[in-house]
Amino acid sequence: MYAVPDQSGKLAVVTGANSGTGKEAARRLAEAGARVVLAVRTPAKGEQARAEILARHPRAQLEVRRVDLADLASVAAFADGLLADAVPLDLLVNNAGVMAPPRRMATADGFELQFGSNFLGPFALTARLLPALLAAPAPRVATMSSIMAHFGRIDFGDLQWERRRYQPMLSYAQSKLADLMMARHLAELAAERGWPLRSTAAHPGYTRTNLQTAGASLATGRPSRLHRLTSALDFLPKQEVGTGAEPLLYAATAADAAPGGYYGPDGPFELTGPTTTARVARGALDRGAAARLWAAAERLTGVEAASVG
């Protein structure tokens, strides 16, 4: 099991920290001494997660704050609140996401739900929190991608799935490819601008969480074809959340996690196993496309990260 290095005196923000890999990451960061903000859409669920972590680690320093990554106003309010604290932010963990709602849905700002929640929301959050991150001595941003990124394609002519027939898993794949491209481009931007920030990415392989069922049941309230498909693929190797969160924790805290590095399980097809360097999706190797996607995200969200520093 990966042992998180001492995080005493550090402040970490973990999105989607009420369940799954986010909750596990928050627990282990707090156990290692970090003060952790559980950034969640539903505060009641965040408070429940906080209570469960405190039951295991009574000395954990945990705070619940609301952020809805599908609402840029909520992202701005969360970031403004954190910046108002005037405390350096040592670690941002972009973990929250939604997977494969059965029909095309939109965020509060009119973006396709997966592209908006999984990529544009985390992008805006990261960009808005850059002042707090750059106030820390060695800040880090770790972003959760997916092995589905290998099946993703960034269609710059139709990022929101308005012209094409909406396909839940391909939309998800595009959003997670975008996350990987964001993490790698942020690492390049940090190097170019002389920021001390280290940006990394990870994927959890095939981990048992509610991600596959929660998104798949949106708009219908019942299991979708994705849920039935994952049930049919139950023979595939899968792992529990404790192991599945380790690539993200490694990306977020390991001393030798490289800027722009990507980490995942080392088993067959990267589905399970101890953490190792993951294979980068071909689409994320195109630096020009990553820069173009970054510019598109700045335009769509109205947040210009390049102006910071």
Residue 203 token pair:
């994927």
Residue count of the chain: 309
Identify any residues that bridge with 190 across adjacent strands, giving them in sequence order.
none
Buried b (16+ CB within 10 A) or exposed e, 109-125: bebbbbbbbbbbbbbbb
**Distance in angstroms (rounded) separating the CA atoms of residues 248 and 15:** 12
Angle at 149 between CA 222 and CA 98, to 5 degrees: 30
| Spatial contact of 155 and 215, defined as CB atoms under 8 Å apart | no
The answer to whether residue 172 is catalytic is yes
Active-site pick, 2, 166, 172, 206? 172
Kindly give, in sequence order, each residue whose CB lies less than 8 Å from that of residue 87, ignoring residues fewer than 6 positions away: 11, 132
Residue 277 token pair:
């360097």
| Spatial contact of 78 and 65, defined as CB atoms under 8 Å apart | yes
- Which sign does the torsion angle of CA 173, 175, 180, 184 carry? positive
Q: Active-site positions?
A: 172
